[in-house]
Amino acid sequence: MENRSGSGRSQGGRQGSARAGQGQRSSFKRGQDQRGGKRPFNKNRSGDSARNHGDGKQAWRRDEAPREKVLNPRDLRSANRSDRGRSPDIDEDVTGKELDRPVLREIGSLDEKNQPWVAKHLVMAGRLLQVDPQLAFEHALAASRRGGRIGCVREAVALTAYAAGDYAEALREFRTYRRITGDQQHLAAIVDCERALGRPEKALESASEADLTQLSAAGRVDLALVVSGIHDDLGNYAAAVSALEIPELNPKKAFSYSPSLFSSYADALEASGRGDESGRWRRLALAAEEALGQGFFAEPEIVDFDGEPNRDHPRAHDIIPPARGRGADRDAKPETQESQEN
């Protein structure tokens, strides 16, 4: 088995997490187990965030006393919401310069007053994405109040809403991001949001209309995982297996998405009554994790808790625990060869 862990964005099912300002394109990545497979969704929150884009302003004559403004309490971006309160606090060490250069260039169109505000809230949203998704969502919303026309800001709102389980809001924001940028990279998340909102037929329709040539290999795996999960939800176990039988399901090569794909394929085989075949793919999933240094084989992050805090290193509450691997038996260790993902 070759090791093909790419240096680009890893989008496959259970990929590792990342924080703002550490080299990723927009300082956000999806966390573990956010889509695909059999993960249950929090449907209690679906549909709670519909909003009206009116600004809620009313005019009055100079000879009249100002009338109370009519507010729309469901408008998350209205700066005059009476129940919104102030924006969440920003950590003292955050400057906004932690964002990578493409994002800084993107928000560079803002004026000098709004640019640092948006940048700092984006850093906080990325920092908290895996630690406190709801608070990360609030930071992303704060950024959007002053930078809502910028693609990376809308992407941040979508990803944090998705992580927080607010799938209706995430769906709107993913679509808005796609409309602004033309980027299809979050297609699997769009389909997954439809699934989470209880619209499996709509989700499958959206997936069937996808232009797979516009997706990376990891993006195609993401989409296959979601589609397989939808068929599994519906009891179509044979279709769940077929959805994962894509060119990326290659037992001879290990890419960053391979452990998740192999493991999900093993689950689908078992659910369809082909348990005799599933064991092989579980062992391959574990072997791929070992070859890639993922899951159980990931190197732990070490934090020094002694002495004065060193701002050159992450603080303890910024560290995201590594994912736990599976404890199943594995085949012999595969041969590895470092190369770039195509």
Q: What is the mean pLDDT of each run of 10 residues along the chain (342 residues)?
A: 46 34 38 39 35 34 42 44 69 93 93 93 95 95 93 96 97 95 94 97 94 93 97 97 96 94 97 95 93 81 53 42 39 40 44
User: Apex CA 341: angle with CA 253 and CA 99, to 5°?
Assistant: 135
Contact 160, 140 (CB under 8 A): yes
Helix (H, G, I), strand (E, B) or coil at 4: strand
**Residue ranges per domain, the chain?**
1-17+199-300+318-342, 41-54+74-183
Q: What are the Cα distances from residue 94, in Å, to 13, 89, 311, 312? A: 30, 11, 10, 12
Q: Give me the pLDDT at residue 295, please.
A: 80
The DSSP annotation for 295-335 comes to: GGGSPPP----SSS--TTS--GGGPPPPPP-------SPPP
Residue 295, φ and ψ in degrees, nearest 5: 55, -125
Among 155, 165, 146, smallest CA distance to 42 is for 165
User: Apex CA 292: angle with CA 213 and CA 278, to 5°?
Assistant: 75
Q: Give me the pLDDT at residue 297, please.
A: 80
Q: What are the Cα distances from residue 215, in Å, to 56, 151, 222? A: 40, 18, 10
Measured between alpha carbons, how far apart are the two ends of the chain, in Å? 16
Q: Which residue blocks in 246-313 are alpha helix, DSSP H?
A: 258-271, 275-292
Size of the chain in residues: 342
The identity of residue 247, as a single letter, is P
The DSSP annotation for 111-128 comes to: -TTHHHHHHHHHHHHHHH
Per the DSSP assignment, residues forming a β-bridge with 2 are 253
